[in-house]
Each structure stands twice: as structure tokens, then as C-alpha cells.
């Protein structure tokens, strides 16, 4: 049983990842250097954490288009809050912790808004999150006065190590991403919550008759996603110390693409968190390889990405349908 | 707080614009309404442009009571066409200042405004056919690339290696890059790579990280945009190679101008492409209605080098850009 699962449908994205790694190593000797690997993993961390949350939302039959705008909005709020608290708290750990708290709270509230509109007001998730996507994006542009919101220079110098440093040479974004991925995998496979998500996504009526609190579980998936967007923002802000209307553009589509590449069904009912992680890495690696090797005109980068995304999914669908899934 | 002021100003503007539309018909003196249609503030440069447009309108309305302005910002070409139709149908404008979102789709609608006998000023992006606009105000993309290229040529030895970040693939970006390449021709400077950073800090950060992994020797970076320069400087700092290379951005963002004023060795100079060019367009259009000053023709704003000596002149601490 386990062997059957590992052999076929799961191999698609994993094989694509391995091919990409081999290709990268073949094209450029610096590809496997620790510096480059750190860069790619740290870059993947933002979309990665968001995509793990997105896996639960999609598995339970939902969708969230607002995460990119939400990340920009949270980053804006966090920076404004930290700048405002600077005179009272001074530069130090309390300021950073307060900023992190703001990011998480705003993230949870934003997720709660999406979730309540979907579960209580019973509006299609696509429409709800399309709406909030526009709202969050405009709000951050407005907060920034059309420009860029920047964290105070001194505060930023203090906060900067949260992105760039770590322990044992592994940077914090990578550590956090790994922890989130493991927690997500466990939650999906080994907890009641994960099983409920799959049950609701396959057939919410049956789930309801089986005494699953469908609305509550759905709401929690959105809240969790909001919190993870907040967590991603906490690690994003120290990177450049700024947020603007162009922060996080198209993150939602990258996150959704990663989830689907990883083998989660877009219509819900089946979720695979580690597959999502593979999907995120595939997307980051394509960009990285295209930058490292002058394979094609940069005008065609988008086309190459598109081809690989479709191929990764085709491989897997072909094999999984043979398996009867 | 700044946000509040901004909101207040917008609201006040909307109210005056609304009043203008109703009072224009009954006023005894000849009054004019000028429509201003620009892309919305989606990135740093456009944010600066929006700010300068609002400031200019505030100043002109105070100076010339007979002038009223209608400002509309659009996030995409279709919305901008709607804005122009609304201005014609409901605001009865006498003149139009427009920065077309895209040349092709806006050509027809702007021509319709012209055909209705209104004054038309086109800013920065030309229309697809000639002879529509009365006044054309633009920055100089060729000079933008050439001035940067000249600086590289004059300040790097033969055999030096540089990397280039390009913007969003557009004709404007091509003009800049072609002029840059032409300017450094024959200098022996080698361009190692040119990838698109899309005038975006995050994208530029990523592209620069990859450049740094790929090339052991980089002597200078043409980031071609100040937002991208901010991302580039972070990537270089992360790699610990700050002392190895300098960066030339472009546009004239206040943070970068400040660093030039402070003689930061990483940012020796910057090349202007001022978002305030919209102010020039609005002011000149206003002159057309309040005086006999001839303003028809083409007005090309040069791209000049910001150096530590003249940086003061290009520093606008209040602008968001």
C-alpha cells in the first residue's frame, strides 16, 4: 500500500525537482554552493509558508486569492507600527517582538475576515478573496501614499539578522519554513483536523452528516493561512525593510501553483503538504537556474516556467490516473 | 499624520472639483477645467508622479482661481479610457493632460478628445499616431541610458566587468539599454549579464543574489532604477561584497539622492528621470489657458547626472519617492 503510493503519483513532482537540481548542477558549478542553496531556500520560505497554509484551504474545498496583497498589507502595518512604537520602546528585542505580534494579529484578523465571509456570509471563496485582494492592495498603497513604507534605519539594522542570520549556518527563514512544513505534514496526515479538511473537500454534505463542524474547520483553515502569511511577513520585512504597492504581487498564484504541482487536488478532497514544499522548490529553482545559466532570452523566462509547471502536473496526473486516484 | 493630510487633500480636491463642475456653468468670468489622467501609484516612480501631480494642482488652483482641475488615476488602460470618457461627458473639460497607460489603446480615446476641440497635452509615453497632441512633455530615455553609460566609460578601466538589471520588457526599457550599450562601446567594459528585475525591489534582490553566485568578479552594477538599486544593495551586503562594486540607479529617489549627498562610495552618482515631469506638463497646460504664452510643441526633459555637488537640488524630502 505504502509502496504503491510512493512509486507512482508521488514521483512526478519529486522527479521534476531532481531533474531541475541535476540540470542546475550541470549548467553552473556554483549552483550547489552553500551560498546559492541558502539563497534559494530562503527565497522559497515566504511563498513556502503561505503555500503550506494554502494546502489546507484548497484541500477543504476553498481558495484564497488575497494572500499576496495580504502580505503587503501586513508588512505595511507592521512597519508603521514599529516606527510608531520606536520612541517609547527604543531599539531592541521588545520592539521587534511587538512588531511580530502586530504582524501575527493583523494576519489572523485578515484571515478571519476571509473565513467569516466564506462561512457565515456564504459567499464563494473566489469572490470573497478577489474582493479582499483588491482591498488589501489598495490599503497598502494608500498607507504608503503611493510610495514605499520604510522601517526606521536603526531599527532595521537591529532586525536585519532575522532574515540573514541563523544557527549552524542555516538561516532563520529556512528553519521556520522547515518547522512549518513538518507541522503542516503532521497536521494533514496525523490529526483529526487534517482528516476533516479532506473529508469536507471531498464531500461537505457527508462530512456534515458525520458530525464534522464544517464551517468551523473551514474558518480555521483561513485563519491559519492568515497567521502563516503574518509569519512569512515577519521574515520578509527584515530582508529589505520596506513595503509598497508592488510587494507580494502574484504571490497568491505562485502559492496556488506550488500546491497543485505538489499533488493537492484543486477541487479539494486530497492534500499533500510535502508535495507543496516540493512545488515551491521547483518554482524557485526554475527562476534560479534561468538566472544562473543564459539558456534563453530573458523574455522567454515566463514561458519556460509555464512549460515546467504544466509538465510537472501532467506527469503526475498521467501516473495517478493509472493508479485510479 | 501624513496619511490624514493626504486623505483630507484628496477629499478637498474632490469637493472643489465637484463644485467646479456645477459653478462653471453659472460663473460670469471665463473659467477653465483641465482634466489630468495618470496611472495610479502602483510603484515608487508612479507614487512620486502622483504626489507631484497633486502638489502642482494644489498650487495652481491657489494661484489661478479661474482654473479648475479634475484628477483621475487608473490602474489599467481600460479604466483610463473610461476616465477620459467621463471627463468629456460629465466634467466638460477644456484641456487634458494625459500620461497614457499604454500607447496603442489610448490613442483613439485621446484623439476623440482632440477632435472635440480640446487642448491635449501628452506626457512621457507618445501616442501611436503623430499629430494628435498640442504639447508633448517627456523624459529622455536615450539620454537616461547614455548618461549612465558615459559615467561607466569614464570611471571604469578597460576589462572591467559589470552586470545590468533591466526593467519591465517595454520599448522604453529597450531605448535605455540600447543607448547604454552604445555609450560604453569601445571602452573594453564587459557586460556579464542582463536580466529583468522589473523595476521591483524584490525581483532585483533575487536577480542580484544570483549574479553574485554566478560571477566572482563584478566591478559595477547598472541597476537602471532606484527601486532596483535598493534591492541590489541588500543582496551585495548579504554576500559581504559591498566594497567591491558601486551601483548606478536611476530616476532620483530621495533615499538614493540622500546617500549621494552623504558621499556614500556605493552610490557615487544617479541619473535623473524625474517623476516631477508631470508638474511641467500641468504647469505649461495651465499657462495656455491663463496667458498667451506659446506652449505648443515638444518639451523634452533632459536626464542629468546627480552628483554630491548638485544633489541638494534634486532632494525632495516630503515626496513619497
Whether A143 sits inside 8 A of B47 (CB atoms) is: no
- Alpha-carbon distance A281 to A262, whole Å? 10
pLDDT of residue B4: 42
User: What is the mean pLDDT of the segment spanning A80-109?
Assistant: 92
Q: Do domains B2-133 and B141-271 have the same CATH topology?
A: yes
pLDDT score of A2 more than 90: no
Residue B145 near residue B185 (C-beta atoms within 8 A): no
Q: What is the CATH superfamily name and number for domain B2-133?
A: Response regulator (3.40.50.2300)
> In Å, what is the CA distance from A234 to each residue of A82, A112, A230, A239, B114?
12, 19, 6, 10, 51
User: What is the mean pLDDT of the segment spanning A216-235?
Assistant: 96
| Residue-wise pLDDT tens digits, A266-277 | 888 899 999 999
- Alpha-carbon distance A189 to A195, whole Å? 7
User: What is the mean pLDDT of the segment spanning B27-31?
Assistant: 66
Cell of A69: 496583497
Residue B144 near residue B271 (C-beta atoms within 8 A): yes
Helix A67-89 and helix A251-261: axis angle, to 10°?
120
Share of chain B above pLDDT 90, in %: 51
Residue B76 near residue B101 (C-beta atoms within 8 A): yes
Residues of B in contact with A249 (CB under 8 A): 200
- Phi first, then psi, for residue A133 (nearest 5°) are -55, -50
| Residue-wise pLDDT tens digits, A253-269 | 999 999 998 888 888 88
Whether A146 sits inside 8 A of B202 (CB atoms) is: no
Sign of the CA dihedral running A250, A252, A255, A257: negative
> In Å, what is the CA distance from A266 to each residue of A55, A201, A269?
9, 10, 9
User: Cell 504544466 sits at which residue?
Assistant: A310
Higher pLDDT, B204 or B91: B204
CA atoms within 13 A on the CB side of B220: 25
pLDDT score of B281 more than 90: yes
User: Cell 578601466 sits at which residue?
Assistant: B157
pLDDT of residue B27: 43
pLDDT score of A1 more than 50: no
User: What is the mean pLDDT of the segment spanning B240-254?
Assistant: 91
Domain residue spans of chain B: 2-133, 141-271
Share of chain A above pLDDT 70, in %: 94
pLDDT of residue B8: 47
Among chain B residues, the shortest Cα distance to A140 is held by B42
Residue B17 near residue B6 (C-beta atoms within 8 A): no
Share of chain B above pLDDT 70, in %: 91
Closest CA to A48 of A208, A170, A159, A185: A185
Among chain B residues, the shortest Cα distance to A134 is held by B75
- Alpha-carbon distance B94 to B113, whole Å? 10
Fold of the A12-316 domain: ABC transporter involved in vitamin B12 uptake, BtuC (1.10.3470)
Residue A181 near residue A274 (C-beta atoms within 8 A): yes
Nearest chain B CA: its distance from A15 CA (Å) = 24
Long-range contacts of A193-198 (CB under 8 A, 24+ apart): A193/A217, A193/A220, A194/A56, A194/A271, A196/A60, A197/A56, A197/A59, A197/A60, A197/A221, A197/A271, A198/A59, A198/A60, A198/A269, A198/A270, A198/A271
pLDDT score of A3 more than 50: no
pLDDT of residue B320: 75
| Residue-wise pLDDT tens digits, B37-48 | 998 877 778 888
pLDDT score of A144 more than 90: no
Count of Cβ atoms closer than 10 Å to residue A142 Cβ:
16
pLDDT of residue A307: 86
Report DSSP letters for A203-272, one per residue. Answer: -HHHHHHTT--HHHHHHHHHHHHHHHHHHHHHHHHHHHSEEETTTTTTHHHHHHHHHHHTT--TTSS---
- Alpha-carbon distance B75 to B276, whole Å? 20
Residue A198 near residue A221 (C-beta atoms within 8 A): no
Q: From chain A, which residues contact B within 8 Å (Cβ)?
A: 28, 30-31, 33, 35-36, 39, 43, 141-148, 150, 164, 239-240, 242, 244-247, 249, 287-288, 291-292, 294, 298-299, 301
Query: Which run of H or of E encompasses B74?
Result: strand B67-74
Closest CA to A241 of B201, B42, B41: B201
> In Å, what is the CA distance from B105 to each residue of B80, B82, B111?
10, 12, 11
Query: Which run of H or of E encompasses B68?
Result: strand B67-74
Q: Which of A196-210, A239-253, A301-315, B69-83 has the highest mean pLDDT?
A: A196-210
pLDDT score of B257 more than 80: yes
- Phi first, then psi, for residue B247 (nearest 5°) are -130, 135
> Could you say which residues from 29 to 68 on chain B have a Cβ atom under 8 Å away from some Cβ of chain A?
40-44, 46-48, 50-51
User: What is the mean pLDDT of the segment spanning A134-162?
Assistant: 87
What is the average pLDDT score of chain B? 86
The pLDDT confidence band at residue A142, using thresholds 50, 70 and 90, is: confident
Nearest chain A CA: its distance from B26 CA (Å) = 36
Cell of B127: 501616442
Cell of B96: 487634458
Query: Which run of H or of E encompasses A166?
Result: strand A166-167
The pLDDT confidence band at residue B7, using thresholds 50, 70 and 90, is: very low
| Residue-wise pLDDT tens digits, A156-194 | 889 988 988 888 888 999 999 999 999 999 999 999 999
Mutate which: B40, B41, B225, B256, vs A, most A CBs within 10 A:
B41
User: What is the mean pLDDT of the segment spanning A13-23?
Assistant: 87
pLDDT of residue A141: 86
The pLDDT confidence band at residue A152, using thresholds 50, 70 and 90, is: confident
pLDDT of residue A8: 53
User: What is the mean pLDDT of the segment spanning B183-207?
Assistant: 91
Cell of A214: 464544517
pLDDT score of A98 more than 90: yes
Closest CA to A60 of A299, A240, A220, A296: A220
- Alpha-carbon distance A228 to A233, whole Å? 8
Count of Cβ atoms closer than 10 Å to residue A103 Cβ:
28
Nearest chain B CA: its distance from A143 CA (Å) = 6
Does B319 touch chain A if contact means CB atoms closer than 8 Å? Answer: yes
Among chain B residues, the shortest Cα distance to A144 is held by B320
Whether A146 sits inside 8 A of B41 (CB atoms) is: yes
Long-range contacts of B155-158 (CB under 8 A, 24+ apart): B155/B220, B155/B268, B156/B187, B156/B189, B156/B219, B156/B220, B157/B188, B158/B187, B158/B188, B158/B189
Look up the CATH number of domain B141-271.
Answer: 3.40.50.2300
What is the average pLDDT score of chain A? 88
- Alpha-carbon distance A174 to A177, whole Å? 5
Q: Among A35, A240, A292, whose Cβ lies nearest the Cβ of B230? A: A240
Cell of B25: 456653468
The pLDDT confidence band at residue B307, using thresholds 50, 70 and 90, is: very high
Residue A108 near residue A230 (C-beta atoms within 8 A): yes
Does B69 touch chain A if contact means CB atoms closer than 8 Å? Answer: no
Domain residue spans of chain A: 12-316
pLDDT score of B146 more than 60: yes
The pLDDT confidence band at residue A317, using thresholds 50, 70 and 90, is: low
Left if phi > 0, otherwise alpha if psi is -120 to 50, otherwise beta: which for B225?
Answer: beta
Amino acid at each position: 500500500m505504502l509502496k504503491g503510493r510512493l512509486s507512482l503519483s508521488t514521483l512526478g513532482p519529486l522527479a521534476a525537482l531532481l531533474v531541475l537540481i541535476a540540470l542546475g548542477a550541470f549548467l553552473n558549478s556554483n549552483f550547489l554552493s552553500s551560498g546559492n542553496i541558502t539563497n534559494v531556500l530562503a527565497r522559497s520560505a515566504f511563498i513556502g509558508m503561505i503555500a503550506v497554509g494554502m494546502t489546507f484551504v484548497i484541500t477543504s474545498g476553498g481558495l484564497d486569492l488575497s494572500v499576496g496583497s495580504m502580505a503587503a498589507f501586513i508588512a505595511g502595518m507592521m512597519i508603521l507600527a514599529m516606527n510608531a512604537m520606536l520612541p517609547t520602546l527604543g531599539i531592541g528585542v521588545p520592539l521587534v517582538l511587538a512588531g511580530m505580534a502586530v504582524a501575527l494579529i493583523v494576519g489572523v484578523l485578515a484571515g478571519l475576515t476571509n473565513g467569516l465571509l466564506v462561512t457565515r456570509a456564504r459567499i464563494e471563496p473566489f469572490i470573497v478573496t478577489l474582493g479582499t485582494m483588491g482591498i488589501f492592495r489598495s490599503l497598502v498603497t494608500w498607507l504608503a501614499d503611493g510610495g514605499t513604507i520604510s522601517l526606521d534605519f536603526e531599527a532595521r539594522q537591529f532586525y536585519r539578522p532575522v532574515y540573514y542570520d541563523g544557527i549552524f549556518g542555516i538561516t532563520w527563514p529556512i528553519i521556520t519554513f522547515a518547522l512549518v512544513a513538518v507541522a503542516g505534514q503532521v497536521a494533514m496526515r496525523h490529526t483529526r483536523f487534517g482528516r476533516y479538511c479532506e473529508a469536507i473537500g471531498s464531500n461537505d454534505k457527508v462530512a456534515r452528516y458525520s458530525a464534522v463542524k464544517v464551517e468551523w474547520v473551514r474558518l480555521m483553515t483561513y485563519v491559519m493561512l492568515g497567521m502563516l502569511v503574518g509569519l512569512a511577513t515577519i521574515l520578509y520585512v527584515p530582508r529589505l525593510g520596506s513595503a509598497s504597492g508592488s510587494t507580494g504581487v502574484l504571490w497568491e498564484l505562485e502559492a496556488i501553483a506550488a500546491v497543485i504541482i505538489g499533488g493537492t487536488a484543486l477541487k479539494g478532497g486530497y492534500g499533500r503538504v510535502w508535495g507543496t514544499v516540493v512545488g515551491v522548490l521547483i518554482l524557485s529553482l526554475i527562476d534560479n537556474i534561468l538566472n544562473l545559466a543564459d539558456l534563453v532570452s530573458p523574455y522567454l523566462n515566463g514561458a519556460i516556467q509555464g512549460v515546467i509547471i504544466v509538465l510537472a502536473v501532467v506527469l503526475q496526473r498521467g501516473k495517478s490516473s493509472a493508479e485510479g486516484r | 499624520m501624513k496619511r490624514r493630510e493626504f486623505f483630507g487633500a484628496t477629499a478637498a480636491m474632490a469637493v472643489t472639483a465637484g463644485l467646479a463642475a456645477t459653478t462653471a456653468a453659472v460663473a460670469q468670468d471665463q473659467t477653465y477645467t483641465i482634466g489630468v489622467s495618470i496611472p495610479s501609484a502602483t510603484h515608487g516612480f508612479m507614487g512620486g508622479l502622483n504626489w507631484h501631480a497633486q502638489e502642482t494642482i494644489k498650487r495652481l488652483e491657489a494661484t489661478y482661481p479661474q482654473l479648475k482641475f479634475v484628477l483621475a488615476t487608473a490602474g489599467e488602460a481600460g479604466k483610463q479610457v473610461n476616465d477620459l470618457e467621463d471627463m468629456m461627458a460629465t466634467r466638460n473639460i477644456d484641456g487634458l493632460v494625459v500620461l497614457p497607460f499604454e500607447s496603442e489603446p489610448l490613442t483613439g480615446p485621446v484623439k476623440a478628445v482632440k477632435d472635440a476641440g480640446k487642448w491635449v497635452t501628452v506626457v512621457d509615453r507618445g501616442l501611436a499616431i503623430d499629430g494628435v497632441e498640442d504639447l508633448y512633455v517627456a523624459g529622455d530615455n536615450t539620454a537616461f541610458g547614455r548618461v549612465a553609460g558615459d559615467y561607466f566609460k569614464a570611471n571604469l578601466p578597460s576589462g572591467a566587468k559589470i552586470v545590468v538589471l533591466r526593467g519591465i520588457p517595454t520599448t522604453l526599457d529597450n531605448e535605455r539599454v540600447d543607448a547604454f550599450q552604445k555609450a560604453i562601446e569601445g571602452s573594453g567594459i564587459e557586460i556579464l549579464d542582463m536580466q529583468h528585475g522589473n523595476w521591483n525591489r524584490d525581483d532585483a534582490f533575487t536577480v542580484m543574489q544570483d549574479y553574485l553566485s554566478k560571477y566572482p568578479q563584478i566591478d559595477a552594477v547598472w541597476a537602471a532604477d532606484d527601486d532596483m538599486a535598493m534591492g541590489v544593495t541588500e543582496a551585495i551586503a548579504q554576500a559581504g561584497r559591498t566594497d567591491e562594486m558601486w551601483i548606478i540607479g536611476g530616476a532620483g529617489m530621495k533615499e538614493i539622492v540622500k546617500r549621494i549627498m552623504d558621499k556614500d562610495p556605493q552610490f557615487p552618482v544617479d541619473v535623473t528621470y524625474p517623476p516631477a515631469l508631470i508638474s511641467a506638463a500641468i504647469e505649461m497646460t495651465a499657462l495656455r489657458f491663463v496667458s498667451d504664452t506659446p506652449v505648443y510643441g515638444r518639451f523634452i526633459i533632459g536626464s542629468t547626472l546627480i552628483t554630491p555637488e548638485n544633489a541638494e537640488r534634486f532632494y525632495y524630502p516630503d515626496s513619497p519617492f
